[in-house]
Amino acid sequence: MAEAQIILEARNLSKRYPVKKTGLLKRPSVLKAVDDVSLCLREGEVLGIVGESGCGKSTLARMLAWLIRPTSGSVLLLGEDPSGLSDKEIRKLRRNIQVIFQNPHASLDPGRLIRESLAEPLQIHRICSQEEAWQKSRDLLHMVGMDEDAMDKYPEELSGGQLQRICIARALALEPKILICDECVSALDVSNQAQVLNLLMDLRKKLNVSMVFISHDLRVVRFMSTRIAVMYLGRIVEEAGTEELYLNAEHPYTRALLSSVPAANPALREMRFRLTGDIPSPVDLPPGCSFASRCPYAKEECRQWVPERLTIREGHDTLCLRAGEINWKE
């Protein structure tokens, strides 16, 4: 089976922020929001990225969308590296990758009508006339299951769920190949979540859009994704296909995440294990594996050497020195 094309690739992506400290210390401390992340998204895939708050998911999302410049590494969109391109060319390429943000109320200009916000991408890129833009906006609204009379409303008059669907509509206006969803259902209540997720699944099938789906909620990520990458303190600690991850997670952190999901089936609850220790501050990470301080399986080497990415099985990578050694039944 021929592998689908890679349309979005992150190579050794890092984002570091200097943090000022009091006077006498010479070197400012460094906050490593994203540390040497490499990912790729193939056509037709949904790549899920999951992790706790503060692990760097949003920073990663913005770098993938070319909204933040990485400190090192590069993001290749359809093979193009933005650092070599002019602003105009970058803006043109932006049509291929769109973002849906977390807070639907803040993602739309409160001073503009919905129809204006929807038509904005078309007007910016001068795709069609004003009249055609209104028509297309109407079609987009229908596509996300909303009624036409939302066109002439202001964002403040609509609910979170409706607004998020409008954001999806706006993102689809330019017919992008890639959609990045950054915690896009986290701000919604459960019933709205389900609606939006189902909508995304439908659209994905209909329009053949590839997605990067980011969330802290494992159940949601599992529902949406074909592949999942687990993130911890700026590093991808494990990456595998969805089912493979669920059945054969090899990183202790992934196991901890999986076991923290409330399971309806009591038989599955036996697999819980607790994490010990405190999460270290992302500023000035301790040497070695960043998870070592909480890992029940950590050994001496774990605290000294930063683990390298290992391919355990085909399509399944993990970032653990003890990969493969650990007997999970203990």
Give residues in contact with another protein (CB under 8 A).
Answer: 20-23, 62, 65, 67, 87, 91-92, 94-95, 97-99, 101-103, 106-113, 120-121, 124-125, 152-154, 167, 170, 174
Identity of the residue, 62 or 222, whose beta carbon is nearer to another protein in the bound complex: 62
CB of 253 vs another protein, minimal distance in Å: 29
CB of 74 to another protein, least distance (A): 18
159, 166 contact by CB (below 8 A): no
CB of 138 vs another protein, minimal distance in Å: 15
Tallying the residues shown for the chain, one arrives at 330
Name the H helices within 12-125.
57-64, 87-93, 114-124
Q: Pick between residue 107 and residue 254 the one whose CB is nearest to another protein.
A: 107
The beta strands (E) that lie in the chain are given as: 6-19, 29-42, 46-50, 72-77, 97-100, 178-182, 210-215, 227-232, 235-241, 310-313, 316-318
Two tokens, residue 69: 């410049």
- Closer to another protein by CB, 92 or 219: give it: 92
Beta bridge partners of 318: 238, 310
Q: Which is nearer to another protein, 103 or 242 (CB)?
A: 103
Which pair of tokens denotes residue 46? 């949904």
User: Rounded to the nearest whole angstrom, what is the least distance from the CB of residue 117 to another protein in the complex?
Assistant: 8
Minimal distance, residue 120 CB to another protein, in Å: 6
Closer CB to another protein, 176 or 234, in the complex = 176
* Count of H-run helices and E-run strands, the chain: 10, 11
